[in-house]
Amino acid sequence: MVEEKLIESYIQHKELNMQKVVDDYYNYIRSIIKNSSNVTEEDAEEIISDVFFILWKNTKKLDKKVKFSSYIAGVTKNVIFRKCSKIAKETQNYQIEEIKDFDIDSGIQNSEMNEYIIKNLQEKECKIFEMFYYDGLKTKEIAKELNIKLSNVKTTLHRTRKKVRKILREGGFYK
């Protein structure tokens, strides 16, 4: 009964009062995003906009027996999942193109170059890079072992690959 009245308070003339929903749930959605994913500020704002759009579009489908905050949390998590999947796919496609330009695996065989790379990386970058390329661990295994988010491992690897290319250019190993 309480939830019915709450949801009814957000609906006026069969339309969702978006300003009231935004005022009441913007920070709640932002905290879900912050706790659930490692996305940029721009992506977070896009996720928030998508959540509010989905709420507005599905006003008639709101179940007055379901807790409104739970419904919003579910929608938010679904949007985060779709966004992160899209980012991961784009990153993977970019990495494939990047590796075509420079085969990092074959370059790792050169010990002088290895030392140069390791010397020029930060500790976290170096650890993840070594675990992935030298130890052959999968990103999920690295995330579990280091107790960090999978998206953090993937982002660090992506940025480290770019950094390695720059380091190798500066060291004269790669043009």
Helix axes 68-101, 41-57, angle to 10 degrees: 140
What phi and psi, each to the nearest 5 degrees, are found at residue 54? -60, -40
Q: Which residues, in sequence order, are bridge partners of residue 16?
A: 11
* pLDDT tens, the chain, 175 aa long: 455 566 666 666 566 677 887 888 899 989 888 887 777 888 889 988 998 888 888 777 776 677 778 888 888 888 888 877 776 666 555 444 444 444 444 444 455 666 777 778 888 888 888 887 777 788 899 999 999 999 999 999 888 888 888 877 777 765 5
d(CA 18, CA 6): 14
Are the C-beta atoms of residues 145 and 131 closer than 8 Å to each other? yes
Tell me the fold of 102-170: Arc Repressor Mutant, subunit A (1.10.10)
* CA nearest to 55, candidates 6, 22, 8, 12: 22
d(CA 7, CA 3): 6
d(CA 123, CA 100): 27
For 2-86, which CATH class? mainly alpha
Cα 97–chain centre separation: 20
Q: Which ranges constitute the DSSP H helices of 37-170?
A: 41-57, 68-101, 104-107, 111-119, 123-129, 139-146, 150-170
Q: What is the pLDDT of residue 107?
A: 46
d(CA 169, CA 30): 40
Question: Distance between the two ends of the chain, CA-based, in angstroms?
Answer: 69
Give domain limits for the chain: 2-86, 102-170
Give the amino acid at 108.
I
- 3-state class (DSSP) for residue 148: coil
- 3-state class (DSSP) for residue 38: coil
